Structure 1
Amino acid sequence: MPDILHRISIDAPQERVHDLIATTEGVARWWTGRRLSGESSVGSRFSVYFGDADKPAAVMEVTSDKPDEVAWRVVDGPDEWIDTLITFTLRPAGSGGTTLLFSHARWAEASEFMSGCSTNWGAYLTSLKTGAEGLDFRPYPGGEISRWE
């Protein structure tokens, strides 16, 4: 099964990065640009929305929330995303920074849709990086590069 993988160097403490990926408020800042619904504790679910849509784009079940790893299993959303696993692994880096290893794993097959998602994940992880470093976040729609009609 193919996976989307990214490695990002972030000039911010691991705790700050963790808070941005482990809370619905944090995820909204760098990814969706609007409040998520639901809970972000292990075993709970949260929904992500983009633009003015009333229907969630995806629903995530939180499977891990540790200081060095946050993981979500997609339980609803695009067919290609169902049962995929999104993992953020954090490692300390020099001078108080953080290395983020990101994976969106267990795709059934590589496709044009997967390629577009990989591009957008890279853009949104850049939003996470710049926001964690004290600069501007670039959530949806500003951060999206590959658009779907």
Structure 2
Amino acid sequence: MPDILHRVSIDAPPKRVHDLIADTGGIASWWTGRPLTGEHAVGSGFAVYFGDAEQPAAAMEVLTDEPDRVVWRVTGGPGSWIGTLITFTLRSAGRGGTTLLFSHAGWREADEFMSGCSTNWGSYLTSLKTGAESGAFAAYPAGEISRWG
């Protein structure tokens, strides 16, 4: 099964990065640009919304929330996302920074939709990076590069 992989160097401490990944308000700041529903706690889940949509674009179950690793299983959203795992692994880097290893794993096939998602993940991870470093986030719609529809 193909995976989306990204490696990002962030000039902010791992705790700051973790807090932005493991909190619904943090996730909204760098990814969706709008509030999430649910909670980010192991065994619970949350849903993400984009634009003015009333229906969630995706739903996640939180499998792991540790200082150096956060894992979500996609439980709702695009068909090719269902059952995939989204993992954020954080490593301390020189001068108080963080190396983020990101994966969106378990895709059924590498297709055009997966390629577009990889492009957008790269953009949203850049939003996470700049936001963690300076507070300047570029969540949806600014972070969307590959548009559908």
TM-score normalized with structure 1 length: 0.99
| 1:28 equivalenced with 2:28 (yes/no) | yes
**Alpha-carbon offset, residue 9 of structure 1:** 0.0
Which residue pairs with 2:96 in the alignment?
Answer: 96
Which ranges in structure 2 are unaligned for 5 or more consecutive residues?
none
- Residue 45 of structure 2 aligns with an amino acid whose one-letter code is R
Query: How far does the alpha carbon of each residue in 1:75-131 deviate from its partner, in whole angstroms, 9 at most, with x for none?
Result: 010000000000000000000000000000000010000000000000000000000
**Alpha-carbon offset, residue 135 of structure 1:** 4.1
Which residue pairs with 1:106 in the alignment?
Answer: 106
CA RMSD, Structure 1 to Structure 2 (Å): 0.4
Which residue pairs with 1:145 in the alignment?
Answer: 145
**How do residues 64-103 of structure 1 correspond to structure 2 at under 5 angstroms?**
64-103=64-103
Equivalent-residue separation in structure 1 for 2:136 and 2:52 (angstroms):
22
Which ranges in structure 1 are unaligned for 5 or more consecutive residues?
none
Equivalent-residue separation in structure 2 for 1:121 and 1:51 (angstroms):
17
- Residue 118 of structure 1 aligns with an amino acid whose one-letter code is S
- Residue 120 of structure 1 aligns with an amino acid whose one-letter code is N
**Alpha-carbon offset, residue 134 of structure 1:** 1.1
Which residue pairs with 1:59 in the alignment?
Answer: 59
Q: Percent identity?
A: 74
Helix, strand or coil: the match of 1:131? helix
Helix, strand or coil: the match of 1:133? helix
Equivalent-residue separation in structure 2 for 1:99 and 1:36 (angstroms):
26
- Residue 55 of structure 2 aligns with an amino acid whose one-letter code is K
- Residue 80 of structure 1 aligns with an amino acid whose one-letter code is S
Equivalent-residue separation in structure 1 for 2:19 and 2:34 (angstroms):
17
| 1:118 equivalenced with 2:141 (yes/no) | no
Query: How far does the alpha carbon of each residue in 1:14-53 deviate from its partner, in whole angstroms, 9 at most, with x for none?
Result: 0000000000000000000000000100000100000000
Query: How far does the alpha carbon of each residue in 1:39-72 deviate from its partner, in whole angstroms, 9 at most, with x for none?
Result: 1000001000000000000000000000000010
Which residue pairs with 1:13 in the alignment?
Answer: 13
Number of aligned pairs? 149
- Residue 63 of structure 2 aligns with an amino acid whose one-letter code is T
Equivalent-residue separation in structure 2 for 1:43 and 1:113 (angstroms):
29
Equivalent-residue separation in structure 1 for 2:73 and 2:135 (angstroms):
29
Equivalent-residue separation in structure 2 for 1:134 and 1:17 (angstroms):
12
